[in-house]
A and B are shown apart, each in its own frame.
Chain A
Amino acid sequence: MAIAIIILLLIIGTVIFHFISPWYFTPLASNWSAIDNTVELTFWITGIVFVAVNLFLVYVLFRYRSRPGLKAEYEPENKKLEGWLTLATTIGIAAMLAPGLYVWGQFVKPPDNAIQVEAVGQQWHWSYRFPGEDGVLGKVDTRLVREDNPFGIDPTDPAGQDDILIFSNELVLPLDQPVKMLLRSKDVLHNFTVPQFRVKMDMVPGISSFLWFTPTRTGVFDLMCEELCGIGHYAMRGRVVVKEPDEFKRWLARQVTFAQTQSRSAGDAALGRAQYMVCAACHGPQGEGNEGLHAPRLAGQDLWYLQRQLKNYQHGVRGTTEGDVFGGQMIAMANLVSDEQSMQHLLAYIGSLPEPARAKADGDLRRGQQLYRNCMHCHGEQAEGSFHMNAPRLAGLEPWYLSRQIVYFRDRVRGGHPDDFYGAQMSLLVQSLRSEEDIDDLVAYINSLQPAQLARRD
């Protein structure tokens, strides 16, 4: 008896949950309303079957529960009944399958007027490529990837020269324009998913997969990796911004082409020396840093990282969050090198500074080593940093600076700005440090590391 009632309650509960659940599809932002409709249809058919079959079960449990004098009937089979049930089930299945296949038929054939955009996945970042004016994406080969060619574009292919490269986790797309996303990966499996667009597809190293959609409303949408890609999987976030076509064109015009990235001139350390004088006041004449002035060490740091941070300060991505007092001071300073060339000179000079001596840090190195396992994959076993992983060098940074930045990331003082993707990622990653003690031990361990190879990366 109880079982009949409880199953009845479970049926009612399920139906109520379905209708009052605030957890349902996010508002659609693409052309794929057909998918939503198929889901809706499937919900109705399966919902009716769910309720009907289970209600019959409840009825049977109630009606034929054991009572004195009740005897079961003896009926080995009933061909007619089984035949009708088979027929009804087949019709229901066909009613769901047919529209499903029809919509899938649309999915496998992108429209002719779709523009091509390439998304490249890597552990645990996104980057994008537009075909440029010729409308053709240049050939790529993973084995050609270098620091000055992160996309691995074949330099001999003329089609690749005008390809527009987006070195950011953020992709801008035009409204109402069909887009065929070509997907590839540099390392492991990833997946391109924007929940509001409804479609998703894996990114597979070695091949190019695709999906297509037409954005139907402007806005900012989370881009998620939904194929397990290692420990940073949950932090592999990107963003798709849908803008009016005019705005999109202006944005695209501001981006660099592959040819431009290949012709950048190197800085001159001698010229950079003069610019560094301003920095020296806080960061020290040798770039050794000064805890009292809250100025971290610069000497020895990866130059690509310093450049990114200078640009972040210039564009208000760093130092503008409430609570980041010292970062705020840097904004004016960074604006002193606002033109590309002088920044290159300054970086070249900093790159020539000698490696300073190490500070001391107290902490449990063993625990620190355990905790560092989660950092190691990007920042390197010896905390030497990796351009390819977008992870700066940590070895050699002063302990006070490291712990402050960890706390900043944790409290979203840093990484809170919508354009600070790498910072936001760090905010997710430092979640696994649960206490001050964890931070101290980790910092002490990082401080104990001595990368064998101190060669600069630029």
Chain B
Amino acid sequence: MSIFSKLMEKPWLAQPEGMDPSLLQPAATYWPARIALRFFLATVTVIFLLFIMTMLGRSQMGDFHALAGEPWLPFDRPVQLWWNTGILLLSSLAMQVGLWLARKDQLQASLLAVMLAVLFVLGFMLAQWYVWQQLALAGFGLTTNPASSYFYLLTAVHLAHLLGGVVALGALLQRYWRQQGSDRIVASLTLCTTYWHYLFGIWLVLFALLTSSAGTIDSLAALCGF
């Protein structure tokens, strides 16, 4: 039943004597953690969306110089960032494999895949740290230019969310140790995997935006009405 038809119900009308049998059935699958994750992802989406909107707004001030678009700019050919993207992709894939394995009840192999995913994420963090260092060395510090400020800020916020994911995954790993039933592991792992893919998607958006040329950023800003 769609939300609209639900909202059109007339609740004061009498139900069949005793009880409407359809009401005895649970309305939906009882999985509050998944709903919580969806709402949480909506919240995180708003966070990134607003950061991006402010960046587009800020980009229309004269002192904003995009980090790509000209050969001498640091992200004109962002080789290192492509590597980092690959690492994060591997992490996401490892999570997906871990989930498949867990669903097939191969918990040992699944554990291995999840550990790999964590390793890749940690690797991604180090690699991002390396990018920061390179960027600073190239003369694009935190306060050099709003574009570089946004680069550090957005990547840092993204890393913070990844870190949160690792912590949550830590709790999940405990379940492997305690050898809880695979149902609960699969349930939690499904949510973690969703979160992983989501953050990979966010990274792709950030990657595309932060390595855009001035022209691209300007047209995006124009599109958003700035």
- Residues of chain A having any CB pair with chain B under 8 Å: 76, 206
Complex Cα distance, B192 from A237, in Å, reads 59
Which chain A residue lies CB-closest to B11?
A: A76
B38-90 contacts to A (CB < 8 Å) = 61
Q: Does B12 contact A (CB under 8 A)?
A: yes
CB<8 Å pairs between A and B, sample of 3: A76-B10, A76-B12, A206-B61
Taking the nearest CB of chain B, how far is it from the CB of A83, in angstroms? 16
Which chain B residue lies CB-closest to A75?
A: B12
Complex Cα distance, B108 from A293, in Å, reads 98
In order of increasing CB-CB distance, the 3 nearest A-B pairs are A76-B12, A76-B10, A206-B61
Complex Cα distance, B58 from A206, in Å, reads 12
Complex Cα distance, B61 from A206, in Å, reads 9
Taking the nearest CB of chain A, how far is it from the CB of B23, in angstroms? 19
Taking the nearest CB of chain A, how far is it from the CB of B9, in angstroms? 12
Contacts of A206 in B (CB 8 A): 61
Complex Cα distance, B10 from A76, in Å, reads 9
Contacts of A76 in B (CB 8 A): 10, 12
Complex Cα distance, B10 from A206, in Å, reads 56
B: contact size bracket: under 10
Complex Cα distance, B163 from A137, in Å, reads 53
Contacts of B12 in A (CB 8 A): 76
Taking the nearest CB of chain B, how far is it from the CB of A209, in angstroms? 15
Which chain A residue lies CB-closest to B12?
A: A76
Taking the nearest CB of chain A, how far is it from the CB of B114, in angstroms? 49
Contacts of B61 in A (CB 8 A): 206
Taking the nearest CB of chain A, how far is it from the CB of B63, in angstroms? 10
Taking the nearest CB of chain B, how far is it from the CB of A79, in angstroms? 11
Taking the nearest CB of chain B, how far is it from the CB of A161, in angstroms? 24
B10-36 contacts to A (CB < 8 Å) = 10, 12
Taking the nearest CB of chain A, how far is it from the CB of B140, in angstroms? 22
Which chain B residue lies CB-closest to A206?
A: B61
Complex Cα distance, B61 from A217, in Å, reads 40
Contacts of B10 in A (CB 8 A): 76
Complex Cα distance, B10 from A16, in Å, reads 45
Taking the nearest CB of chain A, how far is it from the CB of B15, in angstroms? 15
Complex Cα distance, B14 from A445, in Å, reads 81
Complex Cα distance, B46 from A183, in Å, reads 34
Which chain B residue lies CB-closest to A207?
A: B61
Which chain B residue lies CB-closest to A76?
A: B12
Which chain B residue lies CB-closest to A74?
A: B12
Complex Cα distance, B61 from A76, in Å, reads 56
Taking the nearest CB of chain A, how far is it from the CB of B78, in angstroms? 31
Complex Cα distance, B12 from A76, in Å, reads 7
Which chain A residue lies CB-closest to B61?
A: A206
Complex Cα distance, B62 from A206, in Å, reads 11
Taking the nearest CB of chain B, how far is it from the CB of A64, in angstroms? 21
Taking the nearest CB of chain A, how far is it from the CB of B96, in angstroms? 47
Which chain A residue lies CB-closest to B13?
A: A76
Taking the nearest CB of chain A, how far is it from the CB of B225, in angstroms? 17
Complex Cα distance, B61 from A35, in Å, reads 34
Complex Cα distance, B12 from A206, in Å, reads 59
Taking the nearest CB of chain A, how far is it from the CB of B128, in angstroms? 32
Taking the nearest CB of chain A, how far is it from the CB of B206, in angstroms? 27
Complex Cα distance, B10 from A454, in Å, reads 82
Complex Cα distance, B10 from A262, in Å, reads 80
B98-123 contacts to A (CB < 8 Å) = none
Complex Cα distance, B12 from A83, in Å, reads 20
B118-143 contacts to A (CB < 8 Å) = none
Complex Cα distance, B10 from A146, in Å, reads 72
Taking the nearest CB of chain A, how far is it from the CB of B58, in angstroms? 11
Complex Cα distance, B10 from A60, in Å, reads 26
Taking the nearest CB of chain A, how far is it from the CB of B182, in angstroms? 50
Which chain A residue lies CB-closest to B10?
A: A76
Digitize B143-167: 1 where CB-to-A-CB distance is under 8 Å, 0 elsewhere.
0000000000000000000000000
Complex Cα distance, B10 from A84, in Å, reads 21
Complex Cα distance, B12 from A31, in Å, reads 57
Taking the nearest CB of chain A, how far is it from the CB of B143, in angstroms? 16
Complex Cα distance, B121 from A186, in Å, reads 46
Complex Cα distance, B30 from A383, in Å, reads 69
Taking the nearest CB of chain A, how far is it from the CB of B79, in angstroms? 37
